[in-house]
C-alpha cells in the first residue's frame, strides 16, 4: 500500500473575497484556477504547511483560521485538504511567485467566473462560508 500524500489548499480570504490562483504549469493544468497551496512536508501540520506554501508561492504572511470540513481526491495517492486563512496585518500583497501566472480576488458573485480545476470545485464551494466571517476574530460555526 502506498502512502497517501496530503496537499493543503488555502482558502485565503480578505475583505469578503477569496483568492484564486491561475496555474502556469504543468501544461495539462495551465490556465485553470485553484486554491494556492502545496504538499504537506513530513512533520508539518496542515496549518504549518499552509503558512509556508503561501509565503513561498505568494510572498505573503498569513494566519490559518481553521479547516474547511472534508477532503477531496486529487490524482491517485493524493488528497486535498483546505484551510481558511487571512493575511496578517502588514503583509505584502499576494503576487504569483511559483506555479501561477495570475491571481484574482473573487467576491461571492464572482467565485464561479473562473475556470476552477475540477478537484477544487467542491473545496471552493465548501470554503464559501468563510468569506463573510474570516476577517474577524471568530471562526464560522462548525469549523
Largest CA distance in the chain: 45
pLDDT of residue 135: 54
Give the C-alpha separation, 117 to 18, whole Å.
Answer: 15
What is the pLDDT at residue 46? 95
Q: What is the pLDDT of residue 12?
A: 96
Residue partners of 54: CB distance under 8 A and separation at least 6: 10, 12, 36, 37, 60, 61, 62, 85, 94
Domain ranges of the chain: 5-130
Query: Which grid coordinates are listed for 120?
Result: 477544487
The reported pLDDT for the residue numbered 75 is: 87
Instruction: Name the percent of the chain lying above pLDDT 90.
Output: 77
d(CA 138, CA 143): 10
pLDDT in tens, 3-12: 889 999 999 9
48-79: pLDDT as tens digits? 999 999 999 999 999 999 999 999 998 899 99
For the 5-130 domain, the top CATH level (class) is alpha beta
Q: How far is CA 125 from CA 11, 98, 105, 128, 133, in A?
A: 10, 25, 15, 6, 15
pTM for the structure as a whole? 0.89
Q: Which three cell numbers stand for residue 108?
A: 461571492
For the chain, percent of residues with pLDDT exceeding 70:
91
Query: Does residue 124 contact residue 116 with C-beta atoms inside 8 Å?
Result: yes
Amino acid at each position: 500500500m502506498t502512502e497517501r500524500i496530503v496537499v493543503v489548499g488555502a482558502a485565503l480570504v480578505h475583505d469578503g473575497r477569496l483568492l484564486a490562483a491561475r496555474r502556469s504549469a504543468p501544461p495539462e493544468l495551465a490556465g485553470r484556477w485553484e486554491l494556492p497551496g502545496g504538499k504537506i512536508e513530513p512533520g508539518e501540520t496542515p496549518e504549518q504547511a499552509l503558512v509556508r506554501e503561501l509565503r513561498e508561492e505568494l510572498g505573503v504572511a498569513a494566519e490559518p483560521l481553521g479547516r474547511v470540513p472534508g477532503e477531496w481526491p486529487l490524482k491517485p495517492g493524493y488528497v486535498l485538504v483546505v484551510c481558511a486563512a487571512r493575511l496578517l496585518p502588514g503583509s505584502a500583497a499576494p503576487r504569483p511567485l511559483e506555479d501561477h501566472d495570475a491571481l484574482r480576488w473573487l467576491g461571492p458573485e464572482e467565485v464561479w467566473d473562473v475556470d476552477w480545476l475540477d478537484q477544487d470545485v467542491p473545496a471552493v464551494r465548501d470554503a464559501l462560508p468563510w468569506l463573510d466571517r474570516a476577517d474577524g476574530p471568530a471562526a464560522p460555526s462548525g469549523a
